[in-house]
Amino acid sequence: MNNIVTVQTAVTAFADWIEPTNAELDAIELESPLILAEVDLLDAQIKAMDHPENEVDTRRIRRARNRVLNARRDLANRTVGASTAGGAA
């Protein structure tokens, strides 16, 4: 008995719309410092869940939150500067 298999995945695996565009890759690269800061914050929060709260964990989480806020500020400033760079404002 021969199995009937669809070839849709083989046909659509190489479609242009599956890969991210250059603009999407640029946006990911622009947001990567914020993404990494958020991952660090999540790691600090996960480490703090394993045991009772202590001063080291509190400082680690506070510093990670500050890095997230700084990364968000930098990203917002970069996107505002990029959108008004045309000079029409």
Range(s) of the domain holding residue 24: 18-79
Q: Is residue 85 part of a domain?
A: no
Q: Is residue 75 part of a domain?
A: yes
Per the structure, the count of domains in the chain is: 1
Q: Is residue 45 part of a domain?
A: yes
Q: How far apart are alpha carbons 25 and 46 in whole angstroms?
A: 29
Q: pLDDT tens digit string along 13-48?
A: 566 677 888 999 999 999 999 999 999 999 999 999
Q: Which residues contact 58 (CB under 8 A, 6 or more apart)?
A: 48
Q: Is residue 5 part of a domain?
A: no
Q: pLDDT tens digit string along 40-81?
A: 999 999 999 988 989 999 999 999 999 999 999 999 998 776
Could you give the residue ranges of the DSSP H alpha helices within the chain?
8-12, 22-49, 55-83
Backbone torsion region of residue 17, taken as left when φ is above 0, otherwise alpha when ψ lies between -120 and 50, otherwise beta: alpha
Q: Is residue 87 part of a domain?
A: no
Q: Is residue 63 part of a domain?
A: yes
Q: Is residue 7 part of a domain?
A: no
Its pTM surpasses 0.75:
no
Q: Is residue 38 part of a domain?
A: yes
- What's the CA angle centered on 19, arms 85 and 71, to 5 degrees? 45
